[in-house]
Amino acid sequence: QARLFRRDRTNQFLILILQPDVQRGQGYLQIDDNVWFYDPDSRRFERTTIRDNIQGSDAQNADLSQRNLSANYDVVAWEEGRLGSFDVYILDLQARTTDVAYDRLRIWVRRDQTIVLKQEDYSVSGRLMRTSLFPRYTRVGDRLLPQQILIIDELNQGQRTQLTMSDATIRAIPDSVFTKSYLERVSN
């Protein structure tokens, strides 16, 4: 269990781990392209990347930052299809930059609401690394955000992570939240 603060317009997030107790107080801070992991036991920050997994799960730092696929990927192929009972566009995306977690993505986007229902992440060699499912969305202000994400590790049979969002809000967050000193203070 964690608490997430995110500011999309400045590409910032702060994650504070609440459970399990052994990891309580650990946290992550992203400012621009820099991601820092904080351990309250050692009172040290360690630089990490958007590709690194969070707390040994299949979720990555990139999963919690703003999703701006159009800025980071080009559509190289597309087709119409169905996913369950939904009409979808199936888009094959190629990274424009190396500053992303995966070189290639395949996404299933609902045609009627333009929300991602499924995403496959591929390595540079074309190997399927993981699959993410987005079965539930919630409206926050004027945006639809994933309320639940199921991440399936395609390299380790049976390994999966579920992220569930609750109590989402669009309230203003003070600048001081997105600092190392804030993370240190609330972690101890």
According to the model, what pLDDT value does residue 55 have?
A: 52
Please, what are the averages of pLDDT over each run of 10 residues along the chain (188 residues)?
Answer: 79 82 86 84 84 54 62 95 97 90 94 95 94 92 86 90 80 90 88
According to the model, what pLDDT value does residue 129 have?
A: 93
Q: Domain containing 6 — which CATH number?
A: 2.50.20.10
Q: What residue spans of the chain are helical by DSSP H? A: 61-64, 69-72, 180-187
The total of structural domains in the chain comes to 1
Q: Which domain holds residue 33?
A: 2-187
According to the model, what pLDDT value does residue 90 have?
A: 98
Contact 27, 45 (CB under 8 A): no
Integer Cα distance of 133 and 108 in angstroms: 10
According to the model, what pLDDT value does residue 10 have?
A: 80
